[in-house]
Structure 1
């Protein structure tokens, strides 16, 4: 029997969540191949249980796998992005809000960390130390990122 650690956590934090079926394994492999880097283990694990997470405001706090591939490739290839922003090659964007901030994994000396990126200033700052921490912040009251 496959454990559903992420589904259980999300259900505990946000009982009204309607979670989609798991992402296709071939799509996950395709993301890694297209981006030239491995998905963080915790993100890959979540996507193997549910292909994305949306909060009660409709924010895609974890994008579906196909969107992760498409948006990351588009951001890296967009001539305006290359001119305006520091490189995105070491990041894997995976979530956002309708208010602008986007969230990405950045690889640090201590392993992957989640940053919040502001497209207006190109500011990148630590948002969470783990996907669990990120989900708790996104799916509970009082989150400054989501209202």
Structure 2
């Protein structure tokens, strides 16, 4: 993780500072927290602490609401879909990295995660109810 990434994720901003940076009233941030649009970290005394990434999210919520006319339920759905897309892209990148030369079969392990099986390793085809591996994909011609 780059130094800049850690700084963006450091929960250092109080609600009044985060609200000022986002151009909003602190009560708006409380409402967005209740709706799950932004989820600040909490201090031991339950005070909210925002990150620079949270402020960027708040600005995007404001842009979608004011410039695009999207209601808060729509914004929440958009943000959920964007998080899911990021998760799927990360999983796709992980699988792509497993497909490097030397791997020939993808299989599901006992937990259901997709794993690469090195060349020359045999995978038993077993019913998934018994917790065994199941071949999911084999490159054509191999």
- TM-score, length-scaled by structure 2: 0.30
Structure showing greater relative contact order (alpha-carbon pairs closer than 8 Å, 6 or more residues apart): 1
- TM-score, length-scaled by structure 1: 0.29
Larger radius of gyration: 2
Higher share in helix: 2
